[in-house]
Structure 1
């Protein structure tokens, strides 16, 4: 092989490493054809990208794709033209992809795309359901009507056919027992009791 300029020799060595790492056997004529096409491939990639490092990355990607699709190449046809097609299609695919991407340097878009995991909420809801099932039915009904359905004490008392004081007492006992079953502090229960009075 003729003496290559230093930057092209570096690219040739990187491509040779890629070929050596390739696990399937590839015939030497095919490899020689790829190596001979490197200068033209790099120049073509440079004309598309206008950036040397990006062009060399594009050439390496092209070689990897060519190795992976070796069986698609028809022996006797123009290998360089086939490689140019792979390179061009790779460039266009990346270009289209980049057109759909939005630059988010400061993370403004990413912040809005965050979803808080809800596993803990589901577990807490399961714990609450289990604890509610352990309450006596009269306390559970009173608590659900007032706490979950948002009924006033008067409306809940009327719905259950009891006095308002009875509803308040049932709700109070249900909240205290629920706090014990859930293992929460009594402060929240005390606050809610004081708000009810």
Structure 2
């Protein structure tokens, strides 16, 4: 498919992207921006499109991934908590300050014990994910299918949640 043909086909499909973009963003201006960014990425990455495959699905995938990446960027940026409003500053005498880390230490010991109770096949991928490995990296290192890795991490979380249910917050 030539660049001109590709451009023509993509431009004809642009209006069909708008409803899906609106469903993702729930804002008409943001939806227009998302469609525009999707089309820009499609034109820039035209060489990555395989002729004979579903162009519409490819465009929807670009749009969805663009939306997810933008959402993750926004939530990561706004997730830092400013605790200055919650901290009350009182002039205190250093002799009156007491630190009690016992309850935190008990909880941490319970967490470590719960992790140790996990079967090795669940504990290893869970701990790798916990320290920062991505699913694909864990899959490569353990020579397991990525679906198996995701499932084992899910099962480990489920078992840990059950084991540590005494620490759950009551709503």
Pair in the same fold by TM > 0.5: no
TM-score (norm 1): 0.38
- Choose 1 or 2 for highest CA Rg: 1
- TM-score, with normalisation over the residues of structure 2? 0.44
